[in-house]
Structure 1
Amino acid sequence: MGEYNEKKETCGTICLKYLLFTFNFFFWLAGMAVMAVGIWTLIQKSDYISLLPSSTYAATAYILVVAGAIVMVTGFLGCCATFKEKKSLLKAYFCLLLCIFILEILAGILAYIYYQQCTPFCSQLNDELKQSLKETMTMKYNQPGQEKVTKAVDGLQQEFKCCGSNNSKDWEDSVWIKSPESENRLVPDSCCKTMTEKCGVRDHPSNIYKVEGGCITQLEAFIRSHLLIIGAVGLGIASVQLFGMIFTCCLYRSLKSEPY
């Protein structure tokens, strides 16, 4: 009977090891995906993110990169702890899982609250953008030494299919539009639905984007949608982590009578 119990316990431990290894493999992949999203945001979206008046939005991309790296390290540690059957490693792994779990729950809840109750966050964002984005567009667009801003504004207007900070009339105050260099353009060519050379000389709705609220509205919608995604992903991964913590506790208990 004693030999049967020992054999049964060993089989249970093996099953737990493979369950935990499978979890850690997918957890590691999730960390890689999170880090990839952060890196993609910094590379692909860095131009128009630089137009925002606060560095908070760019910081979220760096947070994703760091969080993804931590998750990958945690997943690797979990694999080592599982196959080496070291109780000390399992303890460290469980603590890291618990910390990440708590942070993801908090991040998910906060993102959801910001999404549902956008004021004063959105109103503050909108006011900042109205003041800063219009000034950036009108004062720096196509000016000497402002090539990065010019590229960012063009990319913003083309990607979000908008024209101007609040509306296309914002460009009436543009230093560049008022100068001879604009060659009688009323708006930049990037405002055009079909972008061609000097298409900005005609600001008819059939030619340029006349989006209600301008680029501010599009940016705000973009940020709101990402808050929702961040909240859903955070809560989703956190719920999956519960299984990892349960498997870790079960494996730890099964190793109590075994040597380190």
Structure 2
Amino acid sequence: MTMREYTEKKETCGTICLKYLLFIFNFFFLLAGGAVMAVGIWTLTEKSDYISLLSSNTYMATAYILVVAGVVVMITGILGCCATFKERRNLLRVYFILLLCIFLLEIIAGILAYIYYQQLSMELKQNLKDTMTQKYRKKGEEGVTNAVDKLQQEFKCCGSHNYTDWEDSDWIKSPEAFRWKVPDSCCKTVTDSCGKRDHPSNIYKESGCITKLENFIQEHLKIIGAVGIGIACVQIFGMIFTCCLYKSLKSEPY
């Protein structure tokens, strides 16, 4: 065997190994894309009840970024399989560019989640009470009303800091809420007009919602950030494999 034949055989073996490595990567990348999209959709559907109580759109934006990234990841995974087995350098270039775009999207989602995690406490302290007291039961603010009722029932709390926050409520002060002390959703056992009696045996008198909502959202921001950064780190290997395979293939005419 001549040196040239040996070199060509070595290059062929290397190329085949890279092809299979990239194919395996793309298989798991497709699964990861589905997972990323699922986390984004899960956040927007199952965990979005309290978005109307937040003054910032950052929480929702991070979830949308994950959904978009997940869809693009799945399309990119299919393209990567085609580019790998057809050994088309032009497709590999497109694949690498898409990988880079997804990488940046997921890094942005992770950074946004981290930044908002740091800002969340201050935002809730500044705005949650005003949102609850000024928008509850107001026409056109049904989303806030439903979110407040669900928040107070799900977390067994009443008001932002405690039940006395409802004394400043526009709804409590209105004729519509005659004799109501707090919304019925503050009651330990919800019955019609139970919010007219603010005895500790009847309502969650000392338990405010602000800390519980903050902890709830922070936990989900951790998940969003971890998924975004985690998948982005995995993509580095995909980009390395792609560059190596691209260099190992001969230039093709256009």
Q: TM-score, normalised by structure 2?
A: 0.80
Instruction: Give the root-mean-square deviation of aligned CA atoms.
Output: 3.1
Percent of aligned pairs sharing the same letter? 75
Per the TM alignment, residue 30 of structure 1 is displaced from its structure 2 partner at its CA by: 1.8
8 Å CA contact 2:166, 2:182 repeated in 1: yes
8 Å CA contact 2:39, 2:224 repeated in 1: no
Across the two proteins, how many residue pairs are aligned to each other? 252
139, 144, 152: which one aligns with 2:134: 139
Per the TM alignment, residue 169 of structure 1 is displaced from its structure 2 partner at its CA by: 1.0
Gaps of 5+ in 1: none
**Cross-structure match for 2:126:** 128
The letter for the 2-side match of 1:153 is V
240, 244, 253: which one aligns with 1:246: 240
**Cross-structure match for 1:234:** 228
8 Å CA contact 2:103, 2:235 repeated in 1: yes
- Alignment of 1:149 with 2:147, yes or no, is no
**Cross-structure match for 1:208:** 203
The letter for the 1-side match of 2:71 is A
Q: Equivalents in 1 of 2:150, 2:137: separation in Å? A: 13
Gaps of 5+ in 2: none
**Cross-structure match for 1:172:** 167
Per the TM alignment, residue 156 of structure 1 is displaced from its structure 2 partner at its CA by: 2.2
**Cross-structure match for 1:16:** 18
Superposed CA offset, 1:56-107 (max 9, x none): 3332222222222222222222122112110111122223323433454465
The letter for the 1-side match of 2:231 is I
66, 80, 86: which one aligns with 1:64: 66
81, 92, 99: which one aligns with 1:97: 99
Q: Equivalents in 1 of 2:204, 2:173: separation in Å? A: 20
Distance 1:104 1:151, change over 3 A: closer
Q: TM-score, normalised by structure 1?
A: 0.79
The letter for the 2-side match of 1:100 is I
